[in-house]
């Protein structure tokens, strides 16, 4: 691959202003508009406007629209990595998945069916914009299938205030509190190679942590990160090598002072800068699928949360781009 030849053609922001036109993520082309010479695309970004799995404030169903709108100001060159994302990756917006807003388990099947058909497997990787965190199950399943259904499941890096391995909430086993427990049970994730970063705040009960700890999940609380630094994270990253890994990012891991637009806000968390630094520290990992979830526009202030979510998605894509440049 010639890194000089553009892989993604964007409108020139000095000719077509960023506030004009239809809002696709990052102004990337719609999947159906990608020309054959830039296919198969490397990443499809798609929305999942679903929030029936929430346990507190609803509204994240409008998250994909808000993130796309704010992402018009997500530019293409990554200063710290020194890469032009659109010169390295062929990127496209795949639109929104159909949803079943009245049945969480049925919705997981609807979203998976849509995601499985995006781009061309296994070359095309999937980044889902939520929606609540229950939508991660479907994207993990589609990613696991594209990676050849690895025995024992995929490793995962998880940014969140909550562990999301509760068995049942209010009689629902497929809510945003349970996606990773369901994924482990389905053989999609390897809990012994799962790292949860930023866990914080009060819990309903100590048992909320039991499943993760009993099954070997590595937990790094926000307070632990402040006390001990990134040593535990670094050790985990060293074990990955070229192993395909899934990355999931719940925006509520960020302190609500920086990201107020979310349904389960938890004070005392990462700053925006700390989140970027942690993601950039993961340079070299082989990210094969990802999601950014739980943006609730009605609770946002000045589009801060949606804009941050767009930049988080950009940072995730950049991890794959910088790895490809290294391997050229």
Is 11 a member of any domain?
Answer: no
What pLDDT is stored for residue 81 in this prediction?
A: 95
Domain membership of residue 14 (yes or no) is no
Is 262 within a domain? yes
Give the number of domains in the chain. Answer: 1
Whether 133 is covered by a domain: the verdict is yes
pLDDT confidence of residue 327: 75
Kindly report, residue by residue over 234-279, the tens digit of the pLDDT: 999 999 999 999 999 999 999 999 999 999 999 999 999 999 999 9
Report the alpha-carbon distance of residue 242 to residue 74 in Å, rounded.
Answer: 28
- State residue 183's pLDDT score: 98
- The CA distance from 259 to 288, in Å, is 26
Does residue 91 sit within a domain? yes
**In this structure, is the dihedral angle defined by the CA atoms of residues 203, 206, 212 and 216, taken in order, positive or negative?**
positive
Q: What pLDDT is attached to residue 328?
A: 63
Low-confidence ranges of the chain (pLDDT < 70): 1-4, 328
Scanning the structure block, which residue is given the tokens 């309903």?
Answer: 204
Radius of gyration of the chain from Cα atoms?
18
Host domain of residue 174 = 25-327
Residue 5 inside a domain? The answer is no
- 250, part of any domain: yes
Q: Beta strands 244-250 and 91-96: pairing type?
A: unpaired
CATH number of the domain residue 268 falls in: 3.40.800.10
In-domain check, residue 269: yes
Q: How much is the pLDDT for 207?
A: 85
């Amino acid at each position: 691959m010639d890194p000089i030849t553009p892989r993604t053609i964007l409108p020139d922001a000095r000719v077509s202003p960023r506030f004009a036109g239809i809002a696709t993520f990052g102004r990337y082309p719609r999947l159906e508009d990608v020309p054959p010479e830039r296919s198969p695309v490397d990443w499809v970004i798609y929305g999942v406007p679903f929030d029936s799995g929430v346990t507190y404030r609803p509204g994240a169903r409008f998250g994909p629209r808000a993130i796309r709108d704010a992402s018009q100001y997500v530019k293409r060159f990554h200063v710290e990595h020194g890469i032009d994302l659109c010169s390295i990756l062929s990127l496209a917006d795949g639109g929104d998945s159909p949803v079943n807003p009245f049945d969480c388990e049925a919705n997981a099947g609807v979203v998976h069916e849509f995601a499985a058909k995006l781009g061309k497997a296994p070359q095309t990787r999937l980044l889902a914009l939520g929606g609540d965190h229950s939508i991660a199950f479907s994207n993990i399943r589609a990613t696991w299938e594209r990676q050849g259904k690895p025995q024992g499941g995929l490793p995962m890096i998880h940014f969140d205030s909550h562990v999301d391995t509760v068995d049942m909430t209010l009689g629902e086993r497929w809510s945003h509190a349970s996606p990773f427990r369901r994924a482990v049970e389905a053989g999609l994730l390897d809990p012994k190679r799962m790292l949860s970063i930023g866990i914080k705040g009060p819990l309903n009960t100590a048992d909320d942590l039991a499943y993760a700890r009993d099954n070997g999940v590595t937990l790094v609380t926000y307070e632990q990160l402040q006390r001990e630094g990134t040593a535990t994270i670094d050790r985990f990253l060293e074990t990955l090598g070229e192993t395909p890994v899934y990355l999931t990012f719940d925006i509520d891991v960020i302190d609500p002072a920086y990201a107020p637009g979310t349904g389960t806000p938890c004070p005392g968390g990462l700053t925006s800068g700390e989140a970027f630094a942690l993601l950039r520290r993961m340079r070299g990992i082989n990210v094969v699928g990802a999601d950014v979830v739980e943006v609730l526009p009605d609770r946002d202030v000045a589009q801060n949360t949606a804009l941050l979510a767009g930049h988080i998605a950009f940072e995730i894509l950049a991890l794959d781009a910088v790895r490809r440049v290294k391997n050229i």
